[in-house]
Structure 1
Amino acid sequence: MQRIGVFLSSKDNLPDSYIQAAQEVGEWIGRTGRTLVYGGAKKGLMEILARSVKFSGGRVMGVVPQILTDRNLVSDTLDITIPTVDLNDRKAVMVRESDLLIALPGGIGTLDEVFTVMAANTIGIHRKPVILYNVDGCWDTITAAIRDLCDKKLVSESQKELWTVIKCTAELEHFIQAQNGR
Structure 2
Amino acid sequence: MAEPAFSVCVYCGSRPGESADFARAATAVGQWIGSHGGQLVYGGGRSGLMGTVAEATRLAGGRVVGVIPQALVDKELANRQCDELHIVQTMHERKAMMAERSNAFVALPGGIGTFEELFEVWTWRQLGYHDKPLGLLNVGGYYDGLLAFLQSSVTSGFMGNWQMDLLHTAADSDALLRTLVEAAGLSQEQIPLRSVI
Both structures adopt the same fold (TM-score exceeding 0.5): yes
Partner of 2:165: 161
Matched, 1:30 2:23: no
Unaligned runs of 5+ in 1: none
- Go from structure 1 to structure 2 and tell me whether the alpha carbon gap of 1:134 and 1:90 turns closer, same or farther (over 3 Å shift): same
How far residue 181 of structure 1 moved from its aligned partner, in angstroms, is: 6.8
After TM superposition, the structure 1 = structure 2 runs for residues 123-142 of structure 1, keeping only pairs within 5 Å, are 123-142=127-146
Percent identity for Structure 1 against Structure 2? 33
Matched, 1:151 2:151: no
Deviates more, 1:104-113 or 1:5-14: 5-14
Partner of 2:65: 61
Match among 41, 48, 59 for residue 45 of structure 2: 41
- Deviation sequence 1:115-163 (CA, Å, 0-9, x none): 1111111211112211100101111111111111111110122111220
- Go from structure 1 to structure 2 and tell me whether the alpha carbon gap of 1:13 and 1:146 turns closer, same or farther (over 3 Å shift): closer
Partner of 2:114: 110
Q: Distance in 2 between matches of 1:96 and 1:17?
A: 30
Partner of 1:75: 79
TM-score where L is the length of structure 1: 0.92
How far residue 170 of structure 1 moved from its aligned partner, in angstroms, is: 2.8
Partner of 2:194: none
Task: Tell me how large the CA RMSD over aligned residues is.
Answer: 1.8
Q: Distance in 2 between matches of 1:72 and 1:142?
A: 26
Letter in 1 for 2:89: V
Aligned length: 182
Partner of 2:7: 3
Q: Distance in 1 between matches of 2:16 and 2:182?
A: 34
Deviates more, 1:29-38 or 1:152-161: 152-161
- Deviation sequence 1:11-50 (CA, Å, 0-9, x none): 1453100000000000111100100000001111111111
SS at match of 1:11: coil
- Deviation sequence 1:64-106 (CA, Å, 0-9, x none): 1111235571112200122221222211211111110010000
